Chain A
Amino acid sequence: MTKTPIDAALAEELHRIAPDIEVADIDRTQDLREEFDIDSMDFLTLVTALGKRFDLDMPEADYPKMQSYDALLSYLCGKTA
């Protein structure tokens, strides 16, 4: 069960950027930026933070794999496995 700590880390980083929105309240399969109301700068900040936290490149070419909360979570799980 490697999902739990990564899930928690993702929720924590998102909370830093969008403190007014709870992960429990969003649709995890829908567009991440719309669900959390974050712009491209916020998204870059999120990617930067996650990249540092998990020591990942998080290349821009992979952004399409990070479009929803669930997609981003499985991307992180796959990369850190």
Chain B
Amino acid sequence: MSAFLMPSLGADMEAGTLVEQLMSPGDSVTRGDVIAAVETQKGVIEIEVFEDGVLEDWLVDPGTKVPVGTPLAMIRSASHSGADPDAPEPEAPQPHDPKPAPMPREDPAPHDPAPQGPGPEVPAPKGPFPEIPMPEDRARTEAQPNRPRQRISPAARRLAAQTGVDLNRLTPGAGKPITRSDIAAMAGDQPEAQSDMRAAIAAAMSRSKREIPHYYLSHSVDLTRAEAFISAENATRAPDDRLLLGALYLKALACAVKKVPEMNGTFEEGEFHQSKAVHVGLAIALRSGGLVAPALIDTDRQNLDDLMRSMRDLIARVRAGRYRARELSEGTITLTSLGERGVDQLYGVIYPPQVAIVGIGTPALRAWVEGTIVVPRLTATLTLAADHRVSDGRRGALFLSAIAKHLQAPETL
């Protein structure tokens, strides 16, 4: 038996609200299954389970806000499925748990290193944790065993979590999904979702500017061939299968990281942890304001078509306010692109605990010297903000040049 904990979805997260239980006690779960949705400052995050087994019981009711590290559910692992269910339970935090039990916060300063690493060194928590109901205490909350799952729109769920509306009080009526206006009617007034998002950005960016000695580089790149490559590919493709320059940017960045690996990883607890995996965070602006940079998992292992599909999927989910936990916590470097209607260049702020962010300005036809003549070429300005604790400008320059080189040979991507 092990506890499934409220995960840390980024260094700036201290607590989350369980908004949806997507599986019921007794359900089999497989590593990677989405079993719950958690509301954070950034939106609703789908939470995956890390082991195979059977969901024994929920420990936290929907709508409850709990600190990072709080057990949300008990999972009976597959290897013990034949064991006596009445056997004494081990202490809740297991070796793979991201964080020991939550402690009362005495220090309000948000400079704690992110609780990322699996913690063999983490001291075992001593004794029980009074605020956390353990399975024995749960009898009373099991009064409603197989409550049918409510159909509720993401926006409604978010609003319910923000306003404290208890979803159990809603009658799952006539197969009609619960909408935002139903919740608004129950809540009475309109909440300020925007301020939560702004607070999350403020916390992360303040930490970045406080802790990370940024250095900045910029480089012009000729995108004429990249654009021509995309046009030629798209000429014979249905809209569904068309490519965007963004997929090329992602791929070029993932390739360049192989050459200058110290751009890819996290700086935590005083040292740089280089990442073998390349999960490029993609900065995505939200229509309601604010932005998020969820990661495209294994960017380097995807071809351009895979990347297009991943981007479409990610952007659609982000717009609907729906993420997966890994996407918010496992980014290893960030890409931010101004798109086709932006300005010339941007100076990124590193998303901690990452150590680099690459910006791509809006491509435009500009005068470009080729040999001895001036020609109009489609160009863009690449920028890099990187962490001086980890790398120097010389390596950064090599990194930007590598991205530019890959973008000029799109057929090799």
Q: With the chains together, A58 CA to B239 CA distance in Å? A: 7
Taking CB atoms, residues of chain B closer than 8 Å to A39 are 285, 339-341
| Chain A CB within 8 A of B335 CB | no
Measured CB to CB, the closest approach of chain B to A41, in angstroms, equals 5
What is the CA–CA distance of A37 and B287 in the complex, to the nearest angstrom? 8
A8 close to B (CB within 8 Å)? no
Interface residues in B239-267 by Cβ distance below 8 A to A read: 239-240, 242, 244-246
From 149 to 196 in chain B, residues with beta carbon under 8 angstroms from any chain A beta carbon are none
Query: Which of A22-30, A45-53, A68-76 touches B?
Result: A45-53
A61 interface neighbour in B235, B245, B340, Cβ under 8 Å = B235
In the bound complex, CA of A40 to CA of B340 (Å): 7
The winner among A31, A48, A57 for most chain B CB atoms within 10 A is: A48
Whether A18 is near chain B, meaning CB under 8 Å from some CB there, is yes
A40 touches B245 (CB 8 A): yes
Decide yes or no: A60 and B246 within 8 Å by CB, A40-B339, A40-B340, A47-B239 being known contacts.
no
Contacting pair B234 A60 (CB below 8 A): yes
B338, chain A: closest CB distance, angstroms:
9
Does B231 sit at the interface, judged by CB under 8 A?
Answer: yes
Given A39-B340, A41-B311, residue A57 in contact with residue B238 (CB < 8 A): yes
Cβ-defined contact, B235 with A59, below 8 A: yes
Closest to B244 in A: A40
A20 neighbours in B (Cβ, 8 Å): 287-288
B287 touches which of A18, A40, A44 (Cβ 8 Å)? A18
**Which residue of A39, A48, A57, A61 has the most chain B CB atoms within 10 A of its CB atom?**
A39
- State in angstroms the CA–CA spacing of A60 and B241 once bound together: 12
Overall SS of chain B's interface: helix
B235, B316, B341: the one within 8 Å of A60 (CB) = B235
Candidates B231, B242, B285; contact of A44 at CB < 8 Å: B242
Count of B interface residues, CB-CB < 8 Å: 20
Q: Is the CB of B312 within 8 A of A45?
A: yes
> B280 interface residue, CB < 8 Å from A?
no
Q: How many whole Å from B411's CB to the nearest CB in chain A? A: 18
> How does the 8 Å CB contact mask read for B199-221 relative to A, with 1 for contact and 0 for none?
00000000000000000000000
CB B250 to nearest CB in A, in angstroms, measures 12
Docked pose: A60 CA to B339 CA in angstroms: 17
Distance from A37 Cβ to chain B, minimum over Cβ atoms (Å): 7
**A40-B246, A61-B235 given; A34·B341 CB < 8 A:** yes
Is B223 in contact with chain A by the CB < 8 A criterion? Answer: no
B315 CB-CB contact with A under 8 Å? yes
Taken together as a complex, chains A and B put the C-alpha atoms of A41 and B285 apart, in Å, by 12
Contact B239 A33 (CB under 8 A): no
- Kindly state the separation between the CA atoms of A45 and B234 in the bound complex, as whole angstroms: 14
Residues of A within 8 A of B311 (CB): 41
> Which residues of B107-122 have CB atoms within 8 Å of chain A's CB atoms?
none
Q: How far is the CA of A47 from the CA of B240 in the complex (A)?
A: 9
Residues of B within 8 A of A40 (CB): 244-246, 339-340
- Cα A33 to Cα B231 with chains together (Å): 19
Q: Within B315-338, which residues are at the interface with A (CB < 8 Å)?
A: 315-316
Q: A59 to B244: give the CA distance in the assembly, Å.
A: 14
In whole Å, how far is A57's beta carbon from the nearest beta carbon of chain B? 7
The CA-CA distance from A79 to B164 in the complex, in Å, is 50
Chain A residues lying within 8 Å of B239, measured Cβ to Cβ, are 44, 47-48, 51, 58
Q: Which residue of A lies closest to B230 (CB)?
A: A60
Tell me the smallest distance from the CB of B93 to a CB of chain A, in Å. 41
Given contacts A39-B285, A51-B239, 19 further A-B contacts (CB under 8 A): A19-B287, A33-B340, A33-B341, A37-B287, A39-B339, A39-B341, A40-B339, A40-B340, A41-B246, A41-B315, A44-B239, A44-B242, A44-B244, A45-B312, A45-B316, A47-B239, A51-B238, A58-B239, A61-B235
Chain A interface residues (CB < 8 Å from chain B) = 18-20, 31, 33-34, 37, 39-41, 44-45, 47-48, 51, 57-61
The 8 A-B pairs with the shortest beta carbon distances in the complex, nearest first, are A48-B239, A39-B339, A60-B234, A51-B239, A47-B239, A40-B340, A40-B244, A48-B240
A-B contacts, 26 of them at CB < 8 A, read A18-B287, A20-B287, A20-B288, A31-B341, A33-B341, A37-B287, A39-B285, A39-B339, A40-B244, A40-B246, A40-B340, A41-B244, A41-B311, A41-B312, A41-B315, A44-B239, A44-B244, A47-B239, A48-B239, A51-B238, A57-B238, A58-B239, A59-B235, A60-B231, A60-B234, A61-B235
